[in-house]
């Protein structure tokens, strides 16, 4: 069976795209960003393909694309469209391949007047990886996000930390994450001077618990 994950984060800019690129390289996965905002500044699909050094065919086109770098619900409103939950389906073309799906923003980012990003995760029925910072405040943000995911009855495969090593914050997330389905930290991405496929693969093999990525 292919390994398929939904990558979300505790916030915007937390490192979801770098983690997605790392997983696409490490798992030889296909990448899909269902909702992309801020296209005038570039796209996450382009970034992932560049960082992981993947061919274009290892990505699935976005279902919704918006130019302003704002929340999906507002970007859609400004464009005069509505993001429809019923249009989202796990791409059939990747049934036999590993798949990394990256969300927009954090767990409770609005998609339209009714649904949040967490509802999209539930709709797609994929296990979730939560990307968090290592810095001050991450314990609160991580546990709040895990609480929201558990409330929605979404399976969380683990937490991935990004940033300067902080063993105390990691220990706390491991300890208190146990209250939300025995969630543990399954990977750490340190600060990198250069991000390329070689660096990403090295981190995946050295800093990730690969048992978390196998059913």
Question: Which amino acids are annotated catalytic?
Answer: 33
- CA nearest 19: which of 105, 106, 129? 129
Residue 114: beta bridge partners?
Answer: none
129 — phi, psi (to 5°)?
A: -115, 125
Question: The dihedral of CA 196, 54, 64, 156: what is its sign?
Answer: negative
C-beta neighbour count of 26 within 10 angstroms: 22
- Which residues, including other chains, have CB under 8 Å from residue 156's CB and lie 6 or more apart? 127, 128, 129, 130, 146, 149, 150, 180, 181, 183
Rounded distance, CA 127 to CA 155, Å? Answer: 5
User: What long-range pairs does 122-125 form, CB within 8 A, spacing at least 24?
Assistant: 122/152, 122/153, 122/154, 123/85, 123/88, 124/6, 124/88, 124/90, 125/90
Residue pair 91/124 in contact (Cβ under 8 Å)? The answer is: no
Paired tokens of 48: 């992932």
């Amino acid at each position: 069976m292919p390994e398929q994950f939904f990558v979300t984060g505790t916030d915007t800019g937390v490192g979801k795209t770098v983690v997605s690129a790392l997983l696409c390289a490490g798992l030889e996965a296909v990448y899909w960003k269902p909702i992309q905002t801020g296209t005038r500044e570039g796209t996450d699909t382009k970034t992932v393909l560049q960082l992981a050094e993947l061919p274009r065919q290892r990505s699935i086109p976005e279902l919704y694309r918006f130019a302003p770098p704002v929340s999906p619900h507002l970007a859609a409103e400004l464009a005069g469209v509505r993001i429809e939950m019923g249009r989202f389906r796990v791409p059939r073309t990747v049934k036999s391949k590993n798949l990394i799906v990256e969300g927009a923003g954090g767990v409770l980012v609005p998609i339209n007047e009714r649904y949040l990003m967490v509802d999209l995760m539930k709709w797609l029925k994929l296990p979730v990886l939560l990307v968090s910072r290592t810095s001050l405040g991450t314990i609160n943000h991580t546990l709040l996000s895990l609480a929201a995911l558990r409330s929605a009855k979404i399976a969380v495969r683990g937490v991935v930390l990004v940033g300067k090593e902080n063993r105390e914050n990691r220990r706390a997330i491991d300890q208190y994450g146990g209250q939300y389905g025995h969630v543990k930290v399954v990977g750490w991405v340190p600060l990198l001077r250069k991000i390329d496929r070689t660096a990403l693969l090295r981190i995946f093999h050295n800093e990730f618990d690969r048992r978390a990525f196998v059913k």
